[in-house]
Structure 1
């Protein structure tokens, strides 16, 4: 018996060493965490919460939780792992359905954002039995919690997913599974493993994002396995993430429109901000910058802002501008990013000259009617996509509040004060926005009645850590603003993080990376009057773009159109034949990217390909009788070719405009 135990101990130790070698090579961040924990345990700087125990009577492993004085399983973990594997199947059960479903007919939703892909989605709706969806293969799988690790390999053996994400918040638990689970199997062949071990929510979202973007064209359904109910909050995080990050969330038609407008503005010699000029002049460095968003806490600080407005460089979002005018607060910079004619209303002040000494920064996606509203004012563009390399940068963010913060940091601000970035209701009235802002009001009680209590909803009222109070109430919709700020701050380079002081004055949700500060505690003695000529400064960091010529790229697109037209006439004999021939043409198309002077056009086209292929791959990965007839496959090929050619022609129109 002792010899058997010795052999078992040696086997476990060998597996542990094998896993460590694997982590060091493939997942160095996780490796460093494990090694540090091991060292801390060895040097008695860390008291273990969990220990791995071998239960001789049943011949299985369990984990003893010393804080609760009980076993994690308290029954045979191997038998339990077999049951978990048996219950795991290839249906849509326990999965995240990333293709939006129309609740009226339970089929694919035909949304405007799909653009030309909508015709393919409509065809699929007429051919697929959506009451009986079973997949031939699972391409993406998420394990939430590792337990003792024994179920990981058992479930994986059955599923054999191409891409696997393992999430475990407890580093100790993950370390123990290195003795019981062979993690190398998850990356055998061309498989890919993603690990989220002992990460903060923001870090975890970054890992989820990497997992999602790897083999994007398989993002129609993601299977998941929840180890225990204690980790349901992680499942809720995944649901929240994929509620806004799904195939139809990429508005392809809007992207094409933005490209068209950006090139139009460049050809019309509009002024664009240039990164190198910012580096040369550091326009906001060592200045006190006050960013005013449209959250409800603005109402509490108006008098203070009005009194001290001459001490701050004031950056505001467009939707709060009219409220500031009513209170005689003149911003230095107004930021507007929405590609909607509504922005024209936001920027229409009662006094036509209210902003004569101010500046407006637009993303290069505004429509013409908005520009006509401000043609008498000082306005500048920031390019959304890297159309012009000379400008040296491009970026966009999901909301104008986060963008105003990002643009201030980009302009080298290192001392920032934020108000109105609440990411929460007014805790007394339930209002989501400041009164008199251009946003419409929405009451928390009304929103609560819109949803079913049994499902995770964007409108569920949640209690989270507050910025200036211990707890505040918000909902998932509003908390996306918090997440957007945190993701941007998390992505900053280390040097910027070290020098940046960003104070959050809002009575809303706490945001990681921002320093909570009550407005009463601001040292007024340090508030000297500003010296800031915004027109002169922005003129110094902007330029007109010369030599916008993409004629050679248009020729490459014409060549791809010819190739796709030939593929359209190709005969298809089977599903595998279709997949192989489509793979061949995609390899050829990818090679054409090398011949384009501006990679942006190729990248936009490839984003479209990812979108259409998600729907194609959903169709081709279903187990249903009579689905893969030669006629059906030929029709899917036709829809793929027709929509691809339309997109290529649209791109040619965009880059050839005079």
Structure 2
């Protein structure tokens, strides 16, 4: 053996020699299979072919076991991929997987409600399916018909063949960081057979090869959206290797699982956003725009610290710090933090808010004009029209995946000059700190400090600032925040672990993605986390005593605010009146009939229903390429919620539920048929408020 290589036991050496000899004797078989498979990959998976063509594997010690399976001896460890009997090992792993599979899940709490038409229909579908499932046994084994299988590791493809042999899987995802193992699959299995099975069953097959865990998750979530997010909670996870070898990718998958099951939106919410933007007052409202960086500006925000203040429990610990550097940093307050800051006598430069319902404006109203004078607002285009009256100026950015955002970029409701410059606020949900990070990126701040942006809490009874409205005067919980739901545990910013909710965890993931984006846009960008909450990857944990901020000259803050308003926002033309939505409504009405027709078929079995959902989802995705993305953004969320309910019944229970599924489909068709008239009468959808905060938030 080569120098610095491993010592091979005599028994293994004999096995290798025999395996090499078998491989040589069958070289014509494997070489022919490789050639045919390469042609198949080139035809059906050209992106994979571009990666694998001319690929030179680093592992050369390939041999053929006596049972006819290929095996690999890894030079660095001296271990083989399989045992001496690979097919027996594969069969045992397959049997174990089938008998006790790990499957993604989501638990949606749906109460009977008539608040919106989406809630009206979904709650009744959910209630009906819940009643049906009480009398049936949930499948504990891998079913014959499965929504999806995600393979972490590839086993040269042998396990894929074994699964496809016995199971109809709608979507198959293969993650393999080691390209050698995919490369050798071209010698090991018949890829034409795999493709034939996939096509025959109208399934999909997706590869994530040679990428790290972060790239995998970004690509996987994007692929999942095109296959249908309603499948997110119905995917079985197969581990080809021991957990320690795939620990990083598994942790990334579970830490970012919320990206798959949160933020779906729904139809009525989209119409509310349209109505509220078109009902906004033009006075003191400005549109967030992409700046012309070629124009030299007098102020460089790269040298200006930004404090993003959240209402987390650690805000209380940093009040003196905020006051000390009040004149040296620009201050963003997030949502309810503004009410807390008033109690501490701190007035932010900008207030950030994102929630579209009227109670967002109601909490601002309580603060009074004296305190609010001099504060500018940063928000998105779904905000309630009553919100804007309280601030000197309000900058309005585009919220991603909202129909109003696409309509503004594509239609006549925005003047041509502004339409071409509109800024999308990436990763700006689900909560206000996310939008604050998005504005920090737009404004090109380089030093961002997170204070009270905890995204979690160490103690169950201290989930927000103790001076916030989440607590009564006696320190008891006001009732607005309910932490009785299942809590998650995540690594903490300064060590240990903290509790978090699904919503807060989603915010954490979105902040991390925002940091990645900001660092790409601005090479000087740094994010410092002073909060004693969850660890936010990409940010630097920073204790207060380590913070160094130089003094700023007199009048500094006013100049920065003026610079931001002039550089990153434009007022809409006062003479421009763009409220005509006829083209949008007519387009939506026409395409919605196509959606209804897909679901109106007479289905004979569950497979046909799932195939119809895939066709429905595909038509939604096509709207982006057809120049009508608002159609998808209006319909997508409600469809995902509805389809998730039906496929939950189909995939996870023993009985055939075709007839009951057809009943629920008819319910959703009724909703689709209502949608165009609701969109046409969008002005009725401005939220009227219902006193949501009354008795729950201590002002």
The corresponding residue for 1:142 is 150
The corresponding residue for 2:584 is 553
CA distance in 1, matches of 2:685, 2:111: 34
Pairing 1:513–2:538 present: yes
Pairing 1:6–2:33 present: no
The corresponding residue for 2:415 is none
The corresponding residue for 2:528 is 503
The corresponding residue for 1:388 is 408
> Structure 1 residue 198: deviation in Å?
5.8
Pairing 1:158–2:160 present: no
Q: Residue 214 of structure 1 aligns to a residue in which SS?
A: helix
Spell out, residue by residue over 1:398-418, the C-alpha distance to the aligned partner (whole angstroms, 9 max, x if none): 221121011111123233333
The corresponding residue for 2:496 is 472
CA distance in 2, matches of 1:69, 1:584: 45
2:227 to 215, 233, 237: 215
CA distance in 2, matches of 1:307, 1:581: 61
Q: Residues 76-155 of structure 1 correspond to what in structure 2 (within 5 A)?
A: 76-86=85-95, 94-98=102-106, 100=107, 114-125=119-130, 130-131=136-137, 137-147=145-155, 149-155=157-163
> Structure 1 residue 577: deviation in Å?
12
Task: Report which stretch shifted further, 611-620 or 407-416.
Answer: 611-620
2:571 to 519, 530, 543: 543
Task: Report which stretch shifted further, 200-209 or 237-246.
Answer: 237-246
Task: Report which stretch shifted further, 300-309 or 620-629.
Answer: 620-629
Aligned residues: 620
The corresponding residue for 1:273 is 287
CA distance in 2, matches of 1:422, 1:165: 34
> Structure 1 residue 532: deviation in Å?
2.9
2:441 touches 2:518 (CA, 8 Å); kept in 1? no
Spell out, residue by residue over 1:605-633, the C-alpha distance to the aligned partner (whole angstroms, 9 max, x if none): 2443454344456667799777545xx67
Spell out, residue by residue over 1:589-611, the C-alpha distance to the aligned partner (whole angstroms, 9 max, x if none): 87996999864245312443454
1:284 touches 1:408 (CA, 8 Å); kept in 2? no
Spell out, residue by residue over 1:135-156, the C-alpha distance to the aligned partner (whole angstroms, 9 max, x if none): 6633421112334653232223
Pairing 1:325–2:356 present: no
Pairing 1:410–2:442 present: yes
Q: Residue 327 of structure 2 aligns to a residue in which SS?
A: helix
> Structure 1 residue 333: deviation in Å?
0.8
- Change in 2 beyond 3 A, CA 1:154/1:270: farther
Aligned residues: CA RMSD: 5.0
CA distance in 2, matches of 1:475, 1:245: 21
The corresponding residue for 2:690 is none
The corresponding residue for 1:254 is 269
Q: Residue 347 of structure 1 aligns to a residue in which SS?
A: helix
2:67 touches 2:87 (CA, 8 Å); kept in 1? no
Q: Residue 160 of structure 2 aligns to a residue in which SS?
A: helix
Q: Residues 212-251 of structure 1 correspond to what in structure 2 (within 5 A)?
A: 212-216=224-228, 219=231, 221-227=234-240, 228-230=242-244, 231=246, 238=253, 241-242=256-257, 245-246=260-261, 249-251=264-266
> Structure 1 residue 276: deviation in Å?
4.2
Spell out, residue by residue over 1:42-79, the C-alpha distance to the aligned partner (whole angstroms, 9 max, x if none): xxxxxx7xx86647466545555677765565452211
- Change in 2 beyond 3 A, CA 1:546/1:25: farther
2:37 touches 2:190 (CA, 8 Å); kept in 1? yes
2:306 touches 2:449 (CA, 8 Å); kept in 1? yes
CA distance in 1, matches of 2:192, 2:524: 41
Q: Residues 297-312 of structure 1 correspond to what in structure 2 (within 5 A)?
A: 297-312=314-329
Spell out, residue by residue over 1:193-244, the C-alpha distance to the aligned partner (whole angstroms, 9 max, x if none): 3334565543332133123212217616222323334347755654554556
CA distance in 1, matches of 2:222, 2:639: 19
Task: Report which stretch shifted further, 584-593 or 239-248.
Answer: 584-593
Task: Report which stretch shifted further, 503-512 or 595-604.
Answer: 595-604
The corresponding residue for 1:375 is 390
Spell out, residue by residue over 1:78-132, the C-alpha distance to the aligned partner (whole angstroms, 9 max, x if none): 112234445665x99532245x477xxxxx9868875523334444455566425
> Structure 1 residue 172: deviation in Å?
6.5
Gaps of 5+ in 2: 1-17, 410-418, 687-699
The corresponding residue for 1:399 is 431
TM-score by length of 1: 0.75
- Change in 2 beyond 3 A, CA 1:352/1:195: same
Q: Residue 213 of structure 1 aligns to a residue in which SS?
A: helix
Task: Report which stretch shifted further, 25-34 or 133-142.
Answer: 25-34
- Change in 2 beyond 3 A, CA 1:60/1:295: same
